[in-house]
């Protein structure tokens, strides 16, 4: 389970990896660099789009387009031409915030978190876009992360990184919250900070842990299962991919690392690939 570089383009704040099942390609972001990047799953063709504002997460709409979350809206993005169309505004009237972690849910909705650009306490929120409307689910969030869903779609996971806890919440048949969130994993005793996460086909949750240089799996009951070390301290988010969904791609960041830290971890900011010994789930299509 050794991680190796999948793409050497270093991101200041790599995030939001998405495996497009119809294109067999990985898409991801450099949030503060305002870039959307992609590379064929075989390590072949690569692309790079400069957005002009912070962009952080995406879902796939069809073979040719994505739903992309930026600091001011959700956009339909045409992969071939680079054209974009804003579908709905996202805190567009608040220049102090930007989007962060996000993921499509099994019902075709899209969850997206916002946060202060300087991580101001409680400045963000978590929203769900569903069938043309954007609704706020949770408010007073500082750094939204770990958004992912159980295989049957009846449970969501999310975290506010500064709390050191990953939460879980039951969902109804249309994917809306059907009860109060509860603690799934409490990382505070270990001093760990939950970042992005994804769920495998067996219901295990894989969480990137900022500052710890590791990816940890938790069983469906929240018990720790295993951890994989990565060659970058600031790992940010995992995604399953490959033709059989047995590969994993993990983004990382250079943000917050001084020259000495970068000398110790020169691959920081790159996107890594590994074989975790588990199979992932096909990312759901976002229904616009």
Query: pLDDT band at residue 198, thresholds of 50, 70 and 90?
Result: very high
4-274 has which CATH code?
2.120.10.30
Structure tokens at 41: 């799953």
Q: What are phi and psi of 162, to 5 degrees?
A: -65, -20
CA distance 97 to 143: 11
Quick: pLDDT tens for 20-69: 999 999 999 999 999 999 999 888 899 999 999 999 999 999 999 999 99
Active site residue 62: no
Quick: pLDDT tens for 247-275: 999 999 999 999 999 999 999 999 999 99
Query: Domain spans of the chain?
Result: 4-274
CA distance 24 to 89: 29
Longest dimension (CA), the chain: 50
Catalytic residue (one of 7, 30, 195, 200) = 195
- Whether the CB-CB separation of 68 and 80 falls below 8 Å is answered with no
DSSP secondary structure code for residue 257 in this structure:
-
**Alpha helices (H) in the chain, listed in sequence order:** 259-264
Quick: pLDDT tens for 209-243: 999 999 999 999 999 999 999 999 999 999 999 99
| Predicted model pTM | 0.97
Mean residue pLDDT of the chain comes to: 97
- The whole-number pLDDT of residue 239 equals 98
- Whether the CB-CB separation of 237 and 199 falls below 8 Å is answered with no
Share in percent of the chain as helix, strand, coil (round to 5): 5, 55, 40
């Amino acid at each position: 389970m050794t991680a190796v570089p999948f793409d050497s383009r270093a991101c200041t704040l790599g995030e939001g990896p998405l495996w497009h099942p119809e294109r067999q390609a990985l898409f991801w972001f450099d949030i503060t660099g305002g870039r959307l990047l992609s590379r064929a799953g075989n390590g072949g063709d690569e692309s790079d789009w400069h957005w002009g504002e912070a962009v952080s997460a995406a879902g796939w709409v069809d073979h040719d387009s994505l739903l992309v979350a930026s600091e001011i809206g959700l956009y339909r993005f045409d992969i071939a031409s680079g054209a974009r169309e804003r579908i709905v505004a996202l805190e567009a009237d608040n220049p102090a915030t930007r989007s962060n972690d996000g993921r499509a849910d099994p019902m075709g909705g899209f969850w997206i978190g916002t946060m202060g650009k300087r991580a101001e306490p409680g400045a963000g929120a978590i929203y769900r876009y569903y069938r043309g409307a954007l609704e706020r689910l949770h408010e007073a969030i500082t750094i939204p992360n770990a958004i992912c869903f159980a295989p049957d779609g009846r449970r969501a996971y999310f975290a506010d990184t500064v709390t050191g806890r990953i939460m879980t919440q039951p969902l109804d048949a249309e994917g809306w919250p059907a009860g109060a969130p509860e603690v799934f994993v409490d990382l505070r005793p270990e001093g760990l900070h939950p970042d992005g996460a994804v769920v495998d086909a067996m219901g295990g949750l894989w969480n990137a842990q900022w500052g710890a240089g590791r990816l940890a799996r938790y069983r469906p009951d929240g018990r720790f299962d295993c951890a994989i070390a990565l060659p970058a301290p600031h790992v940010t988010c995992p995604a399953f991919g490959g033709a059989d969904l047995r590969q994993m791609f993990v983004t990382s960041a250079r943000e917050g690392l001084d020259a000495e830290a970068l000398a110790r971890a020169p691959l920081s900011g790159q996107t890594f690939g590994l074989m975790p010994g588990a199979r992932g789930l096909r990312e759901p299509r976002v229904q616009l």
